[in-house]
Amino acid sequence: MAGRFDIEIAGLDFETLLAEAKNFASQYFPEWKLEDSNDIGWFILELYLHSVGRSNWFINALAQEFNLFTAKERSSVIAHCKKLGYSLASAVPYETSVRVIATPPVSQIIIPAYGIRLSTKNIDNKAVMFENASAITVDSGITQFEAVFVEGESKEDSAVGDNTPYFSMILASKGAIDNSFVVTVNGTQWTEVNSFVDSESADTHYLVEPLEDGRTVIRFGNGQNGAMPPANSAIICEYRVVGEARGNIKADTLKTVEAGPSEIKLISATNLTDATGGADRESLEHAKIYAPLKTMAMERLGNLSDVERFCEMQAGVARAHATAIGNVIQISIVPDGGGVPSAGLKSAVQAAVADLLMMGYSASVVDPDYVTVAVDVDVWGMPGYLSSDVQSSIVTMLNNLFDPLSKDANGVYVNDFGQAFPMNRLISNLANMASIRDNFVVNEPSGDVETISVDQIVTNAGSTFTVTVHGSEVGIHYPKFPTNVNQGTE
């Protein structure tokens, strides 16, 4: 509705708003001194512009949450993804094989899953916890055993129900992982659901929702859709938390015993292998890209590239390569963090793919066929560089160069399945290093690193890098003069 003081706004940038506001004010309030910051008119204009700016920000912020691609709040992205049938992946714990030495039990004992907790210090000097992934049977007289341990720590929080609709409890620890929750009310285990829509009044259901700060909230029903915990009921929530990338530890580093069974004394422990198979929780940026792609793949995976793209959407998978061998689609997967995928990850990917393949085809998920390489180089350091630093920087470069997960500046993988590693790529990287001279010598490899099959890919894990640095002395070259030099004329 038009009024006396209606303003035509041509733009929402500050300069445009200021010019229009001054023009408007000068017509109706000529007594205002618009160039004096202490004048009441200037104050009113500032207040007006501030209000418009805040309103504009609020409207834009609210509007952007209604679209998957512009949403910034994690809760909004999760809601949009659910509409597309896509769930953001939780963090996946790293796992490693551990040997434990203990006093022999008098009789057979069974150590429950997560009954042993070990720790090590990460590069941030904070503890990283690992627990046994499944129950361990130890017979009498046994002094050592091996088991798979997974990164993370078991937690337990409690609350008291109050018989109110939508009662909720916020868990104390951040980083809780999906499918690890066990919720009991007065000793009876309740069931996790994705929604209360189909829940009846007596259904003992609960929801799990992630919060923006990394914590998790457990929500109960309202008495009509899902039961309410009774007044003064004892609510217990058991769950596990992980440190994501912090769990990517090296072999022979997991040594400190934090907790164990009372029946035996744990003397020592060590992990026999590097940790593998872990993954960070899915980022909002990744979900915005892959949620629509999953919707496109809901009916059938029509070709090998569709299979690869779908597998890479699965939690814990960094890369996938699919090959048709008769009626079997063989899928090689590289887990987040590199290395070899765990048996659990391979099973999860195979189950996800199985029902989406074209009729008559089946899937087989396997380890990548890695090709290791031996690199032996002689280099001469530039003046001012320590030989140890030169050697370290070259080894780091080689690790990145042969890493199957390395990408170039455009986000494209440097190495690909079934492709040879060209010798000139190694030479080019050495030539671009400022710490060495250009007269380096590559002793090995003598040529391109060939792959035998389409499923093979080069890797830095297991490859050997020998770098010999000959110092950074500056060579002095004296000119050679002919022996018969004309000394002058007589």
Structure-block tokens of residue 252: 């022979």
Rounded-to-integer distance, Cα 314 and Cα 23, Å? 58
Q: Give, for 367, the enclosing helix (H) or strand (E).
A: none
Rounded-to-integer distance, Cα 154 and Cα 258, Å? 12
Supply the pLDDT for residue 235. Answer: 97
Supply the pLDDT for residue 1. Answer: 41
Which sign, positive or negative, has the C-alpha torsion 239, 245, 251, 257? negative
Chain centre to alpha carbon of residue 208: 21
3-state secondary structure (DSSP) of residue 477: coil
Supply the pLDDT for residue 478. Answer: 39
Structure-block tokens of residue 254: 């997991």
Identify whether the C-beta of residue 357 lies closer than 8 Å to the C-beta of residue 300. yes
**Concatenated DSSP letters of 299-318:** S-B-SHHHHHHHHHTSTTEE
Rounded-to-integer distance, Cα 481 and Cα 325, Å? 71
User: What are residue 137's DSSP bridge partners?
Assistant: 110
Structure-block tokens of residue 418: 């079934």
Supply the pLDDT for residue 475. Answer: 40
SS3 percent helix, strand, coil of the chain, rounded to 5, is 25, 30, 50
Other CB atoms within 10 Å distance of the CB of residue 255: 14
Rounded-to-integer distance, Cα 141 and Cα 302, Å? 56
Q: Give, for 416, the enclosing helix (H) or strand (E).
A: none
Torsion angle of C-alpha atoms 422, 310, 86, 317, degrees rounded to 10:
-50
Residue 90 burial by Cβ neighbours in a 10 Å radius (0-12, 13-18, 19+)? buried
Rounded-to-integer distance, Cα 204 and Cα 225, Å? 10
Identify whether the C-beta of residue 304 lies closer than 8 Å to the C-beta of residue 324. yes
Rounded-to-integer distance, Cα 116 and Cα 146, Å? 12
Supply the pLDDT for residue 186. Answer: 96
Rounded-to-integer distance, Cα 72 and Cα 176, Å? 21
Supply the pLDDT for residue 481. Answer: 44
Name every residue whose Cβ is closer than 8 Å to that of residue 174 and which is 6 or more positions away in sequence.
213, 214, 215, 241
Structure-block tokens of residue 144: 């050592």
- Interior/surface letters 290-318, b for 16+ CB within 10 angstroms, e for the rest: bbbebeebeeebeeeebbbbbbbbbbbbb
3-state secondary structure (DSSP) of residue 419: coil
Supply the pLDDT for residue 187. Answer: 95
- Please tell me the class of the 284-367 domain: alpha beta
Which sign, positive or negative, has the C-alpha torsion 360, 364, 365, 370? negative
Which tens digits make up the pLDDT trace of 90-125? 788 899 999 999 999 999 999 999 999 999 987 677
Name every residue whose Cβ is closer than 8 Å to that of residue 206 and which is 6 or more positions away in sequence.
183, 190, 191, 192, 193, 218, 219, 220, 221, 226
> Angle 423-431/387-402 helices, nearest 10 degrees?
140
Supply the pLDDT for residue 206. Answer: 96
Supply the pLDDT for residue 151. Answer: 94
Contacts of range 296-300, beta carbons closer than 8 Å, 24 or more positions apart? 297/356, 298/85, 298/356, 299/356, 300/356, 300/357, 300/358
Supply the pLDDT for residue 8. Answer: 59
Which sign, positive or negative, has the C-alpha torsion 467, 470, 473, 475? negative
Residue 184 burial by Cβ neighbours in a 10 Å radius (0-12, 13-18, 19+)? middle
Q: How would you classify the pairing of strands 317-325 and 266-271?
A: unpaired
Tally: H helices and E strands in the chain: 8, 24
Identify whether the C-beta of residue 95 lies closer than 8 Å to the C-beta of residue 149. yes
Rounded-to-integer distance, Cα 242 and Cα 280, Å? 9
Largest interatomic CA distance in the chain: 125
- Residues of the chain scoring pLDDT < 70: 1-15, 17, 52-65, 69, 74, 85, 123, 293-302, 472-490
